[in-house]
């Protein structure tokens, strides 16, 4: 598609400019862009609290969808069943579910809803949970096992990135849900994740007395954090888009979406940003930019 070519070309130019500037700063000016590594402080939450939050992330959105849909998952409508019978085959799509949602009867309400869910809410929720909570805990465990050297922390980056990517694994889906059913699916998922975030904050803030900085929420350096997020997007977006384009035909043949491959470069960038800054705002900025582009592609596709 033309929009895919435009995105790949623009992201490649940004990629080349970003890495050119990074190499210039590092080798010509001997200047490090990211802050120096510092020993991480121990977090107040342990393995049990982390496991409970992980369980909530996996289960509560699904339970919310069930409750919103009267205790059952959306099923095929009679109209879709008749269409399948008349066509003799079901259409299988490896596109992201939100892209499929936008493609059928697009409307301003859908665009606003998808933009909020993907470009605003998902980065806030996922960076707080995966980087602020999970990676914060994993890094504290790593330093307890391998020593408090400033260089330790990279294992936590890889560990959390793996689980983040695996939780984004999606099998290719039959395009057989009505608009109402898709609204139910995505609204239930949104409400469930809002509940997860609220419970997690209550647990960490009020029961364990963790402060905002321990959770990665420190706005004193917001200007630098925005710059770090822009740099991370410029450095990792093109490899992510390229992997998605290369792997899409194979993934469609095998029956799953290419998200797990596309997310590898940018997810590692999110983790490195947190490792070096101890803040989640840089990852949020890069994550928002990535998802904004994805929504734009979904709209024009």
**124 near 103, Cβ under 8 Å?**
no
d(CA 252, CA 254): 5
Predicted pLDDT of residue 182: 82
Structure confidence at residue 80 (pLDDT): 45
60-73 residue pLDDT tens: 999 998 888 776 66
Judged against a pLDDT cut of 50, whether residue 81 lies above it is answered with no
User: For 183-199, what is the mean pLDDT?
Assistant: 93
Q: How far is CA 113 from CA 70, 210, 289, in A?
A: 22, 33, 17
273, part of any domain: yes
Mean predicted confidence (pLDDT) in 229-251: 93
Helix axes 222-254, 2-23, angle to 10 degrees: 130
For 261-280, what is each residue's pLDDT tens digit? Answer: 999 999 999 999 999 999 99
pTM above 0.85, yes or no: yes
Summary mean pLDDT of the chain: 86
- % of the chain beyond a pLDDT of 90: 56
In a domain, 38, yes or no: no
**Is the pLDDT at 153 greater than 80, yes or no?**
yes
Whether 270 maps to a domain, the answer reads yes
Q: Is residue 180 part of a domain?
A: yes
pLDDT at residue 183 tops 90: no
What is the per-residue pLDDT for 300?
79
Give the pLDDT band (50/70/90) at residue 75. Answer: low
For residue 247, pLDDT beyond 70: yes
In this predicted structure, what is the pLDDT of residue 86? 47
Q: Give a yes or no: residue 42 inside a domain.
A: no
Q: Helix, strand, or coil here: 174?
A: strand
Contact 170, 92 (CB under 8 A): no
d(CA 265, CA 267): 6
3 state DSSP class of 215: coil
Is residue 278 a part of any domain in this protein? yes
Percentage of residues of the chain with pLDDT beyond 70: 88
Give 182 or 6, the one with higher predicted confidence. Answer: 6
pLDDT tens by residue, 83-141? 444 444 444 555 667 777 777 777 888 889 999 999 999 999 999 999 999 999 999 89
Q: Evaluate if residue 294 carries a pLDDT over 60.
A: yes
Query: For position 83, what pLDDT does the model report?
Result: 45
Structural domains counted in the chain: 1
Please tell me the predicted confidence (pLDDT) of residue 229: 96
User: Which of 249, 235, 233, 253 has the alpha carbon at shortest distance from 294?
Assistant: 233
The pLDDT tens digits of the residues spanning 12-30 come to 999 999 999 999 988 888 8
Residue 245 has pLDDT above 70, yes or no: yes
Between 246 and 252, residue with greater pLDDT: 246
The residues with which 92 forms a beta bridge, in sequence order, are: 174
**Which residue in 295, 297, 298 sits closest to 118, CA to CA?**
295
Is the pLDDT at 201 greater than 60? The verdict is yes
Write down the pLDDT at residue 254.
Answer: 83
pLDDT higher at 290 or 249: 290
Residue 267 CA: distances (Å) to CA of 138, 157, 261, 288 = 16, 9, 10, 12
Specify if 39 maps to a domain.
no
5/238: higher pLDDT: 238
Assigned domain for 43 exists? no
Q: Which domain holds residue 160?
A: 2-29+48-300
Judge contact between 265 and 15, C-beta under 8 A: no
pLDDT score, position 175? 53
* Predicted local distance difference test score (pLDDT) of residue 73: 60
């Amino acid at each position: 598609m033309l929009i895919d070519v435009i995105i790949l070309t623009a992201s490649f130019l940004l990629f080349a400019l970003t890495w050119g500037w990074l190499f210039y700063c590092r080798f010509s000016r001997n200047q490090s862009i990211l802050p120096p590594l510092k020993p991480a402080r121990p977090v107040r939450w342990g393995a049990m609290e982390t496991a409970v939050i992980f369980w909530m992330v996996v289960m509560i959105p699904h339970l919310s969808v069930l409750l919103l849909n009267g205790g059952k998952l959306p099923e095929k409508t009679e109209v879709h069943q008749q269409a399948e019978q008349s066509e003799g085959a079901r259409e299988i799509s490896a596109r992201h579910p939100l892209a499929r949602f936008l493609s059928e009867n697009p409307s301003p309400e859908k665009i606003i809803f998808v933009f909020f869910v993907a470009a605003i809410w998902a980065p806030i929720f996922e960076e707080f949970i995966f980087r602020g909570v999970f990676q914060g805990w994993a890094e504290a465990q790593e330093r307890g096992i391998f020593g408090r050297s400033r260089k330790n922390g990279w294992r936590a980056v890889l560990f959390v990135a793996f689980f983040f990517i695996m939780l984004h694994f999606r099998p290719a889906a039959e395009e057989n849900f009505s608009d109402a059913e898709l609204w139910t699916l995505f609204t239930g998922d949104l409400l469930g994740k809002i509940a997860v975030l609220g419970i997690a904050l209550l647990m960490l803030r009020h029961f364990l007395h963790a402060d905002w900085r321990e959770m990665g929420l420190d706005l004193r350096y917001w200007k630098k954090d925005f710059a770090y997020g822009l740099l991370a997007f410029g450095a990792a977006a093109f490899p992510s888009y390229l992997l998605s384009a290369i792997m899409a035909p194979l993934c469609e043949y095998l029956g799953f979406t290419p998200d797990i491959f596309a997310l590898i470069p940018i997810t590692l960038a999110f983790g490195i940003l947190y490792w070096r800054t101890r803040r989640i705002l840089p990852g949020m900025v890069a994550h928002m930019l990535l998802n904004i582009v994805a929504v734009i592609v979904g709209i024009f596709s």
